[in-house]
Structure formats: structure tokens, C-alpha cells
């Protein structure tokens, strides 16, 4: 009799998935995760502490996150029934992978399409759900060409299409006309524009949601300074939100995150918006300074991070930065990101420490 283990019950696709890796190093200058480097003001933190102390932690949170949904809908100019909230955008990507797992006629697998390189969780989550990956390569300027996108759609018939704009890790916005062309010519798929970095560019396709039932937009509180809350949102047609909500766990957002996020969208919104404006100014200063360093290609950014390509061995440079207390994201691997590092825009002091350390490594 053959011995059967739990390993025999796993879907074979899962064995091929490589889990998302987050370095655990504690360093003085942490510029690897696209986080806002600024805390809330002392007054705002004291206000937040008072509000959170009033929450009855012995009770389950509001399963609908009603007040937060209303606050977010008002800030975006949409109806609450157009908003689906998740434990970060990551959870919502998983909900979409679950909901859109039905293969099209004549196919054995459902497909998900996205540009590449882009946000790693599009690949990891889709692969873990057993979906077929359709990765459309970006050109040398990190743009998606319309002919490539439409050709891939015609050949692969994806159920969900992700457009990250601004794109992580390249930092640039995708051409809105290409995205519009896909939205208008592909009614049989759901197109999702991931606008996680909206606060640093102000460019959005959100107004198109009202006219296109097959379009949805992601937003998150993580990049604006509240990564620890893990609050993300999808904005789309009420019918889409209603169906996706069936796959959502009833208490996916805890009570503390719900209240803190609501305050961020109301009482603290001006303070957080001011931080975003400061980061944009510092991004341009950091980009200019990086361009002065030898052997450096600095790609334009519309986000809160900058992608650079080094003539020197990027992995060795990353290791030397880390050894001196500066952590950035190492993207150096065979493929389009060979020789690349991604650096988050930090405080002026952190940016200066990074620049001085990098310059010392390159000059040696």
C-alpha cells in the first residue's frame, strides 16, 4: 500500500512558487521597502492613542468596516458600495485570483496578465492560485507598448489584467493611452490599475471607473505613511464589489486598523499630504545627486523610490552598503533588472547618509 502524505495533496503549481522575501536586517538607514520615513506629529500620535484606547478589543470589529469605507469613499468621490477593503492590496489580489479562476472556453487554466517587471505579488499570488501567467515585457523606457498588450490579450484571453501605475520597481507611470486602449477594447476582462503610489504623482484613472464596469482601481494607505495598518482598497463597479465581497473573510480588517485609517483620511489627511509633498521634493534632489555619481543610470520616478542601474557589480555594492548600515532593495538578477538597485526616498539625513556611503563605495 502506497504511503500518502500531505505533500501528495498539494497542487503542483505551489511547489514552483517562490515566497516573497523580506530582509530581516536591523539597520540605521532602511531604504528598501518604499515606506514613508516620517512619523505622525506628536499631537496626532497622542490623538490617535486616545482614540484607539476607546476601542473594545474584546469585541469583533465591524465586519463591513462601515465608517472607514464611508470616509474613503468621500475622499475619492465615489459611493461606499464601490469600495472593497482588504488587509493591504495583497489580500485583494488574492481575492481576485480566487474569484477569476474560471478558465475561458477552450482553456484548461484561467490567465492573469501584467507587465514585467512589476509588483512581485501579481506573479506570486496568481501562481499560488494555479493561474496561468501572462507577463508582457516592458520596453527600454519601462513602458508597455499597446501592440504587445493587445496582442497578448488576443492570444491568451486573460480574465484579469493588472496595470501598476506608477510601477514598482521601475518607478514610472505607464502610458495612460495604452491603458485606455486596453480598457476600451477588452470588455471580457477585468482591468485593475494599481495606483498604490498615487500620492506621489497625482495621476489617476479613477474617473474612468464610472464609465467602464470592467475597470477597477487599487489604492492603499501603506505608502502615504501607514504601512503598519495594512489597509488597501479596490474601487470598482458595485456589482463587482458585491461579488468579490463573497470571497472576503468577514473580519479581515481589525478594529485598530479601521479606526486609525479613518482618522488618517479625516483628521490627519493634511499632515500626511504634506509629508508626501516633502518626499516628492526630496526625490528630485536625490535623483539629481545620484546622476552626479560615476557609472550611474537613474530612471525617472513618479513614486517614493528611485530605480538605479550601476556599471559596477550591483550585488557587491548592495552588500557593501548593508555592511555600512544602509539597506536598499537589491534587484540585480539576470533579466531586465540586471545591475539595478531600488532606493526608497528617506529623510534628508538618510538620503545624505546613503549618498555619501554609495559615493565612497563607487570611488574606491
SS3 assignment, position 77: coil
How far apart (Å, rounded) are the C-alpha atoms in residues 100 and 150? 20
Position 3 scores a pLDDT of: 63
pLDDT tens figures, 256-285: 999 999 999 999 999 999 999 999 999 999
Residue 75: all three cell numbers together:
475622499
Which DSSP symbol is given to 18? P
Measured CA distances, 296 to 155, 287, 310 (Å)? 38, 11, 5
pLDDT tens figures, 218-248: 999 999 999 999 999 999 999 999 999 999 9
Torsion, Cα 9 15 18 20, to 10 degrees, reads 0
Dump the DSSP string for 180-234.
Answer: HHHHHH-TTSEEEEE-TTGGGT----GGGGGT-TTEEEEEESIIIIIGGG--EEE
Whether 25 shows a pLDDT value over 80: the answer reads no
How far apart (Å, rounded) are the C-alpha atoms in residues 73 and 31? 31
pLDDT tens figures, 68-97: 999 999 999 999 999 999 999 999 999 999
How far apart (Å, rounded) are the C-alpha atoms in residues 314 and 297? 12
Tally helices (H) and strands (E) across the chain: 12, 12
How far apart (Å, rounded) are the C-alpha atoms in residues 327 and 291? 20
Residue 187: all three cell numbers together:
470588455
**Cβ distance 189 to 161 under 8 Å?**
yes
> Which residues, 6+ apart, have CB-to-CB distance to 160 below 8 Å?
96, 97, 100, 112, 113, 189, 190, 191, 192
pTM of the model: 0.94
Using pLDDT thresholds of 50, 70 and 90, give the confidence band for residue 309.
Answer: very high
Amino acid at each position: 500500500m502506497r504511503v500518502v502524505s500531505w505533500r501528495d495533496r498539494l497542487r503542483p503549481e505551489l511547489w514552483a512558487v517562490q515566497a516573497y522575501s523580506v530582509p530581516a536586517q536591523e539597520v540605521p538607514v532602511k531604504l528598501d521597502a518604499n515606506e514613508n520615513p516620517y512619523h505622525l506629529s506628536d499631537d496626532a500620535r497622542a490623538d490617535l492613542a486616545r482614540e484607539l484606547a476607546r476601542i473594545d478589543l474584546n469585541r469583533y470589529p465591524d465586519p463591513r468596516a462601515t465608517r472607514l469605507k464611508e470616509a474613503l469613499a468621500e475622499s475619492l468621490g465615489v459611493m461606499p458600495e464601490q469600495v472593497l477593503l482588504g488587509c493591504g492590496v495583497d489580500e485583494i489580489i488574492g481575492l481576485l485570483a480566487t474569484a477569476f479562476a474560471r478558465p475561458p472556453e477552450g482553456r484548461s487554466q484561467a490567465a492573469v496578465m501584467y507587465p514585467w517587471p512589476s509588483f512581485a505579488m501579481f506573479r506570486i499570488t496568481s501562481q499560488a492560485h494555479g493561474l496561468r501567467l501572462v507577463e508582457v515585457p516592458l520596453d527600454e523606457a519601462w513602458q508597455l507598448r499597446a501592440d504587445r498588450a493587445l496582442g497578448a490579450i488576443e492570444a491568451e484571453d486573460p480574465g484579469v489584467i493588472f496595470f501598476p501605475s506608477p510601477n514598482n520597481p521601475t518607478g514610472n507611470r505607464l502610458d495612460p493611452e495604452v491603458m485606455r486602449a486596453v480598457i476600451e477594447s477588452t470588455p471580457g476582462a477585468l482591468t485593475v490599475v494599481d495606483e498604490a503610489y498615487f500620492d506621489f504623482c497625482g495621476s489617476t484613472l479613477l474617473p474612468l471607473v464610472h464609465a467602464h464596469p470592467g475597470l477597477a482601481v487599487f489604492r492603499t494607505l501603506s505608502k502615504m505613511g501607514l504601512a503598519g495598518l495594512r489597509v488597501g482598497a479596490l474601487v470598482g463597479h458595485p456589482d463587482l464589489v458585491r461579488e468579490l465581497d463573497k470571497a472576503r473573510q468577514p473580519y479581515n480588517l481589525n478594529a485598530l486598523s479601521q479606526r486609525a485609517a479613518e482618522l488618517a483620511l479625516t483628521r490627519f489627511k493634511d499632515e500626511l499630504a504634506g509629508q508626501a509633498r516633502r518626499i516628492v521634493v526630496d526625490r528630485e534632489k536625490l535623483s539629481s545627486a545620484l546622476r552626479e555619481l560615476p557609472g550611474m543610470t537613474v530612471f525617472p520616478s513618479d513614486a517614493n523610490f528611485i530605480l538605479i542601474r550601476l556599471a559596477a557589480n550591483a550585488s557587491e555594492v548592495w552588500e557593501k552598503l548593508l555592511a555600512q548600515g544602509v539597506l536598499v532593495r537589491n534587484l540585480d538578477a539576470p533579466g531586465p533588472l540586471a545591475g539595478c538597485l531600488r532606493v526608497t526616498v528617506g529623510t534628508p539625513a538618510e538620503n545624505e547618509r546613503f549618498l555619501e556611503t554609495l559615493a565612497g563605495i563607487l570611488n574606491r
